[in-house]
Amino acid sequence: METLCRYSTLLILCILLIPGVASSAEPCYRGVITIPAASMQPRFNTYSINNVGGFLNSNSFGHVNFYAPLVLPNRARITKIVLDVYDNSTTASIDVHLKRSSYAAASTLVDFDTTAAAAPGDNRYTKGNLNILINNLNYSYFFDLHFWNVGSTSNRFYRLIVYFNLFDCGSVVTVTPMN
């Protein structure tokens, strides 16, 4: 057991550091990673697409989809995901799914659907209060992007923003003032 003391003109504060207890845990780190349009790869090479780095769209008809990996450190915890798109169509939409894969099977963890766009133009969709623990030992993670009923360039994908914590950012350390 080790004692760490900090002195102040008003109070002396000591914290007991016990190995293996939350107070000796790794420090919290809050991070952000962006999945830009340039990272999206088409499922088939026959799609008619525009991927100019800053945005991605397709004028192929029907259903067009793309994939991009999500690479975070093991034990990272996703807390929020933001989707930035341009939606100027009442008939076409963009769906994005965060998926977790163990070999051939994949399950959906988070869904975005732009069919109910608030207004034509640039739109931001947010999924907050997430608590998705990354387990790289058993799974891999990727985004699955779908353009639906396209045939024009009226919808664009810009980026996904992933907010995450490393380690336990919610830990509370008990501090006991000493007399």
Characterize 151-167 residue by residue with b for buried, 16 or more Cβ atoms within 10 angstroms of its Cβ, and e for exposed. eebbbbbbbbbbbbbbe
Asked which of 52-66, 93-107, 136-150 is least confident by mean pLDDT, the reply is 52-66
Question: Which residue type does 101 have?
Answer: S
Range of the domain at 157: 27-177
Answer yes or no: is 5 within a domain. Answer: no
pLDDT greater at residue 99 or residue 28: 99
Contact between residue 56 and residue 41 where contact means Cβ atoms under 8 Å apart: no
Q: What pLDDT digit, counting tens, does each position of 127-172 carry?
A: 999 999 999 999 999 999 998 866 666 789 999 999 999 976 765 4
Answer yes or no: is 6 within a domain. Answer: no
> Is pLDDT above 50 for 117?
yes
> Is pLDDT above 60 for 39?
yes
The rounded distance, in Å, linking the Cα atoms of 16 and 18 is: 6
Confidence of residue 114 (pLDDT cuts 50, 70, 90): confident
Answer yes or no: is 16 within a domain. Answer: no
Give the CATH number, domain containing residue 144: 2.60.120.260
Answer yes or no: is 111 within a domain. Answer: yes
Domain count, the chain: 1
Longest dimension (CA), the chain: 75
Total-model pTM: 0.76
Mean pLDDT, residues 60-89: 92
